[in-house]
Chains A and B, each alone.
Chain A
């Protein structure tokens, strides 16, 4: 049981380049989330998918798009990367969007935009 996996682990981009961060979970969870964490700060929600086929904006969605490819996979795309998007990106999943449920996090993707 791998839990939540993310690829790549580390990426360097030039301003204006695009890339897709991949996330997969093997826990049969319904909900998936993308967060970013800037140095010395807590996580901020970018987008989430409450269930397969649905996506919705979080706190900081500008500059990102997402795709819930199937129940297992949830990708985050940067169409035109900017230095302000330098951050660590975490994917998470949970059984369903309930108040008491637990989110399980991946190991993160470190992104540097030059």
Chain B
């Protein structure tokens, strides 16, 4: 099964953009890329997902490399409330009931 690799932690200043990278070099052609985040002492919450094209929503943007071996979650203006663990997850085509979370990137936002 394809896995994802993310940095353990990143730091950002408040109101600056944040680029959270994810490598998934063994992704297959029909696997979706999902991002979730987990605020302290809470359950994960959905952020964004995509297949091939870049995606935007009110929370973030997702930039997917042309070869799909990596992706980047972009928070356009980080706030203190964005401090969380961000998980990059592949949704496998052959068994999409199974979500593999990995250990994620802990984002610290400095005021």
Contacts and interface: CB of A to CB of B under 8 A. Distances in A.
Given A42-B101, A105-B43, 19 more contacts: A31-B97, A42-B102, A42-B103, A42-B104, A43-B99, A45-B98, A48-B97, A48-B98, A92-B43, A92-B44, A99-B30, A99-B32, A99-B91, A99-B93, A102-B46, A103-B46, A107-B42, A107-B43, A108-B43
Contacts of B87: 42
Interface in A72-114: 90, 92, 97-100, 102-108
Interface of A: 4, 31, 33, 35, 40-45, 48, 50, 56, 58-59, 90, 92, 97-100, 102-108
Contact of A56 (B45, B97, B103): B97
Contacts of A41: 103
A106 B97 CA distance: 18
18 contacts: A35-B101, A40-B103, A42-B103, A43-B101, A44-B101, A45-B98, A45-B100, A59-B98, A90-B43, A92-B43, A99-B30, A99-B31, A100-B32, A102-B46, A103-B44, A105-B43, A106-B43, A107-B43
B49 interface: yes
Interface residues of B, number: 24
Contacts of A90: 43-44
A41 B42 CA distance: 14
Interface of B: 30-32, 36, 41-46, 49, 51, 87, 91, 93, 96-104
A98 B102 contact: no
